[in-house]
Amino acid sequence: MVERRALGVIASALLVLLSISRSYMEGGITTEVWAYLLLTPIPVAMALTGGGAEKIDDRIEEWVDESGDVDVDTTDEPLEMGFDVPVL
């Protein structure tokens, strides 16, 4: 069986070659040529994103929140400290 990554690169290369050949046959860049070029990254993206979920599931760890509570001094008035009072 052909590897998924190789299949994506081959499909993307075929789309580029197809767009170049259509551009040469029609004598310019048309909407069809742009469509082939815009579709080119899709097979590569599908090839690069597939098959990684099984490997990632093994490395899941629990994170512990070590930040703790932060004490904030609220005894001073905001106006005395230089802050403006927002007006809605």
* Residue-wise pLDDT tens digits, 1-22: 458 888 888 999 999 999 999 9
Contact 19, 37 (CB under 8 A): yes
Mean pLDDT, the chain, whole residue set = 79
- List the chain domain ranges: 4-50
What number is the average pLDDT over the span 14-36?
A: 91
What number is the average pLDDT over the span 46-74?
A: 68
What number is the average pLDDT over the span 44-66?
A: 70
Distance from chain centroid for Cα 22 = 30
pLDDT at 60 over 50: yes
pLDDT of 1: 45
- Whether pTM exceeds 0.85: no
Q: Quick one: tokens of 18? A: 């197809």
